Amino acid sequence: MQENEENLIRRAATGDSEAFGVLYDAYHPQIYRFIFLKVSSKEDAEDLAHQVFMNALEHMPGYRHKGFPFSSWLYRIARNAVIDHYRTKKDRVSLEDADPEDFARGESIQADAHRALEIEKVRRAIKKLSPLHQDVIIMRFVEELAIREVAVALKKSEGAIKLLQHRAITELQRIISENEESTK
């Protein structure tokens, strides 16, 4: 953890709203993106991201640095919010309605039709994975979190995350292959 971030976290834990605002600005885009990939509705993703940060703000006084990145704590809150969202909302929204540009990391996706089709193919395949496999794929390859961070966020060992990642990739490849075969 960077010294500046550690100071911001300490200040936010004592009720400094300005410090929490800086943390919010730093982490909101990636938490929103993670949630959006799970719920596929911009409105739901915005609402859930808001809930995540309200929950984080409420629990900041109890936050203790345990050697893991602050983002792991936020991802755990976000994952639980998504789980709660689906528990209360039984109908699932399609990722097919999502705009591929929502997945960009600060830069827009080029108007390259081939790349857009590939992204769409992967999004549809991710949708068919189990929720746990979706979490691992999104955290590792979209959010580019380290295995250790994913392990903390999902409350699993690093070895379990490596195994889940391997299984998720294998399953994703199988789904994509089957989809390509069925469209020939």
Tens-digit pLDDT profile for residues 4-14: 888 888 898 89
CATH of 3-182, one of 1.10.1740.10, 3.30.56.10, 3.40.50.970, 3.40.30.10: 1.10.1740.10
Whether the per-residue pLDDT at 74 is higher than 90: the answer is yes
- Cα–Cα distance, 120 to 141 (Å, whole number): 15
What does the domain layout of the chain look like in residue ranges? 3-182
Whether the per-residue pLDDT at 122 is higher than 70: the answer is yes
Determine the distance from the C-alpha atom of residue 25 to the mean position of all C-alpha atoms in its chain, rounded to a whole number. 16
pLDDT in tens, 30-62: 999 999 888 878 899 999 999 999 999 999 988
Rounded mean pLDDT, 152-160: 90
- Cα–Cα distance, 61 to 19 (Å, whole number): 13
Residue-level pLDDT at 69: 85
| More confident call, 79 vs 93 | 79
Of 37-41, 91-95, 116-120, 138-142, give the lowest mean pLDDT range: 91-95
Whether the per-residue pLDDT at 118 is higher than 80: the answer is no
Rounded mean pLDDT, 152-161: 90
